[in-house]
Structure formats: C-alpha cells, structure tokens
A = this chain, B = another copy of it.
C-alpha cells in the first residue's frame, strides 16, 4: 500500500494506524490480547486464523511495539500488550461497540459488557463507570458476558469457554500449565 499523498497531513495519523492495525485479523488479535490471550495456540484456536497469517500478524505487531514477546514456561513464549498496545483500547472498544450496535448477536444487545472491577457497574463508551462515575483504567475493566452472547457449546475453544465467565482485562485468561489444545479439551 502506498500511503496517501499528504504524509504530513491528518491523513497520515489514521493512515499510519491503519498500516499497523488495518490488516485483516490484526485488531482481533489485539482485542484477544486485552482479554488475556497470550499464546500462539490460544489465538489460533479462538480466531480460527490460518497459522501462517497469525505468525505474520504477531510479527508485525511485535515489530511495531504493540505486542511484546516474552519467555514463558519451558521453551515457550507468550505475547503481552505494551503501553502502546494498551493505548489501542479506545479504538478496539469503539469498533466493537459499533459492531454490537448495528450487527447485534442472536440474543440482542452487546455480546460483552465491560464493568468496573471495583463495583461491577457497567462502564460506558466514554470509559466512565455508570456506578461511581470514575474514568476506569483498562486494567480495572472486567469483560463479562452480555445479553447478545450465545453460550459457548461443548466443543468451543478454551478461550471462548473461559470468556463465558467475568475476566479482568490484561490478566492471563488461561493457566500457563494447561496446553490450550488437547489438555484443555479433556478437562
């Protein structure tokens, strides 16, 4: 892609963002990272993204400083959002809300409701808690199932099943000792 002509104009800010997060799957990967998805197999299982594409997107996000690759148990690695990555939350939130509003799930209403970890009141799209009025930092958000979410079936992937319960953003969703493929399926 050639960038728009006016590199120095406003075009550039959005164009640069889209250069990084505008590729297919990329923003879904970032969204999953907010939910605490950390390992290659977890992303692959949840998103059903081809593994070569996932490898490419994780490399792009790591090179851009959105994700950080860190050593895990044994010889494994995991991915975590950097500060630059966490700064994408308003964009992820806004695009998710728009999708929920105009393409609602089977039950109607949002598929996920974000709540303040302190009082569990829903947090509005302006990022403020509807209970206490505070501007809630991303790390103090709970992702909880909403009315538009269909319950995951028995053969759902481990990430979908874990997200059927409230979970604090940016904390690991699945235990590091459980393989996300076979072992999790056998529980």
Contacts and interface: CB of A to CB of B under 8 A. Distances in A.
Interface of A: 1-2, 4-6, 8-18, 21-22, 24, 27-28, 31, 35, 46-49, 84, 87-88, 90-103, 105-106, 110-112, 125-128, 135, 143, 148-150, 152, 156-157, 160, 163
Given A4-B46, A13-B111, A126-B126, 8 more contacts: A10-B111, A10-B112, A10-B163, A11-B31, A13-B148, A14-B95, A90-B90, A90-B97
Nearest to A89: B94
B92 A8 contact: no
A100 B90 CA distance: 14
B31 A14 contact: yes
Nearest to A1: B24
Nearest to A6: B160
B98 A91 contact: yes
A165 to B, nearest CB: 13
B18 A95 contact: yes
Contact of A12 (B6, B88, B91, B99): B99
A148 B12 CA distance: 10
B18 A24 contact: yes
Nearest to A102: B84
A160 B99 contact: no
Contact of A149 (B9, B84, B106): B9
12 contacts: A5-B46, A6-B46, A6-B156, A8-B105, A8-B150, A9-B163, A11-B47, A14-B27, A15-B28, A16-B103, A17-B103, A91-B98
A101 B128 CA distance: 22
A27 B135 CA distance: 27
Given A22-B24, A91-B98, A95-B91, A106 B8 contact: yes
Nearest to A45: B5
